[in-house]
Amino acid sequence: MLLATKQVKSRIHRLVFTAHDALGAIAGVDILRNKFGLVPHAISGLCSTSPLAIEELNDFTDIPAVSNTQRALNQWAGIVL
């Protein structure tokens, strides 16, 4: 798998994980962390547009959920820069 190679890992400077729902995000973050040693800097996607999903993400991860629908440019800038 590509994510397991040093060549790919060395090129990742910032990682934003996107998911459709909170459970997918929680499971995806867990796989990235435990199988590949990668920790996303943020979670985004459809799961970050629902207050309930954001609450679930906050309960099960320590990664900020950022929605592009909020246009939180300062928050995005802190993550990607």
Q: Is residue 41 part of a domain?
A: yes
Q: Is residue 58 part of a domain?
A: yes
Number of structural domains in the chain: 1
Domain range for 32: 13-80
Q: Is residue 65 part of a domain?
A: yes
Whole-model pTM: value is 0.81
Q: Is residue 4 part of a domain?
A: no
Q: Is residue 6 part of a domain?
A: no
Q: Is residue 5 part of a domain?
A: no
Q: HEC string of the chain?
A: CHHHCHHHHCCCCCCEEECCCHHHHHHHHHHHHHHHCCCCCEEECHHHHCHHHHHHHHHHCCCCECCCCCCCHHHHHHHHC
- What digits encode the pLDDT tens for the residues 44-57? 999 988 999 999 99
Average pLDDT, the chain: 88
